[in-house]
Amino acid sequence: MSHRHVIELTDVHAGGDISRIVTGGVGTIPGTNVRAQMEYLRDRADGLRRLLLEEPHGRPDMSVDLIVPAADPDAQAGYVIMEVMGYPVYSGSNTICTATALLETGRVAKREGRQQFVLESPAGAVDIAAEIRNDVVESITCEGLPSYVETPDARVTVPGVGTVHYSVVYSGGFYAVVDAEALGFDLVPAERDPLAETAHAIVTAIRADSAPRHYRLGDVGPLPFVHFAGPVSQIGGGRYRARSATYVHPGVICRSTTGTGTSARLALMHRDGHLTPGDVLETVSIGGSVFSGCLTGVTYEAERALVANTISGRGYVTARSQLVFDPDDPLIAPNMRNLPRAPDTP
C-alpha cells in the first residue's frame, strides 16, 4: 500500500450537517498562520477538498475541517474550513464540530464543567466554551464573526419567482436574507428541493444585478448564501424562536440553520429594532435541529452597526475512519496532484 494515501477522519454532525475533521495523513501546509495555509490550499492544492467532498469518497452537503498548527500562541489548534463552494473564512457549525472532535479525540484534554479554550480559524482567534458533563461534550458555544447589514430592503426580479425582497447581511460570508412566508414556504422537510431551486434562482439573479463588497476586506467573492427567515415568536424574556433554512450555493439546503446564517439573522433583527444585547434567538431547521444565537454587543464602524454574537449547538461524533486514496483510481487521480502528504502515511 506504499503508493496509496491514507487520511484519518473523525466525522461529527451539528444540527445534521456533517463535518469531516481531518486529524492525520496530511502533510505540513505552507503558511505563517491559518489564513495563509487556507490560501495555499485554495490556490495550489485544492485536490484535498475535492477528494473529501466529491464522489466516490464524499458528497457535496458535507464540510471538511483540516486540523493545522495554530500561529496564535493562545490557540490550542487551527482549522481550515472547506465546503462545496470553496474556503469560507468562518463557519459556526464547522467550529462546533471541530471543537467537539478535538475534545472527543483527546487533542484538547477534557475538563468537567465549563471549559474554555481558543481555536484559530482563517478569520482569526475564536473563543470556545464547552459544557462537559460525565465526560460528554453536551454543548459548544463559539464566537460568531461581527455581523452587519450591508444592503437593507433590496429587491430583484427572479425568473419563475417574481419580485423578491431581500437584505444582504455579512456574517463571515454574504447572505441574502428573505422572508420565507412571502415566498410561500412553511420551512418543512417536504420543501427541501423547492427551497433549493428557489434559492438558486435568487442567488443567480442577485449575482447578475449586484456584487456586495465587504467595507474593510473588499471583494470576498460572489454572494453564495440565502437564508429563509420564518416568523419569529417570543418564548420568554429576551428569548425568541424562528424556523429557518440556509441555502449553500450550489444546490444544498443545510440540515442545520448554520451558525453564520443565525448570526446574519441576529444582525438583521437588531437593525429592525427586534433584538438588543443579551437577547437570544433560537433558529430551528426544517428537520427540527436548533442553534442558539446570542447578541452580545454592538459597535459601530464605517457607519455600520457590527453585531457581536455567540452561537451555541451540540456536536455528535458519527464515525472515526481512514479513507484510502489510490492514484490509479481514474475518478480521483487528478485531485491527488500536489496533495500534501504526511511523511508517515502508509
Q: Which residues are catalytic?
A: 91
Contact 63, 83 (CB under 8 A): yes
Q: Does an H or E element contain 197, and which?
A: helix 192-209
What is the rounded distance in angstroms from the CA atom of residue 81 to the CA atom of residue 98? Answer: 10
Nearest-angstrom CA–CA distance, 44 and 56: 22
State the angle between helix axes of 259-271 and 92-104 in degrees (0 to 180), rounded to the nearest 10.
Answer: 140
Cβ–Cβ < 8 Å for 321, 9: yes
For 341, the 3-state DSSP assignment is coil
Single-letter amino acid code for the residue at 225: F
CB atoms within 10 A of CB 326: 13
| The three grid cell numbers given for residue 189, joined into one nine-digit string | 422537510
**Residue 153: left (phi > 0), alpha (psi -120 to 50), or beta?**
left
Instruction: HSE, CB side, 13 Å, CA atoms: give it for residue 232.
Output: 18
For the four alpha carbons of 142, 147, 153 and 156, in that order, the dihedral sign comes to: negative
DSSP assignments along 81-106, one per residue: EEBTTB--S--HHHHHHHHHHHHHTT
CB 302 within 8 A of CB 215: yes
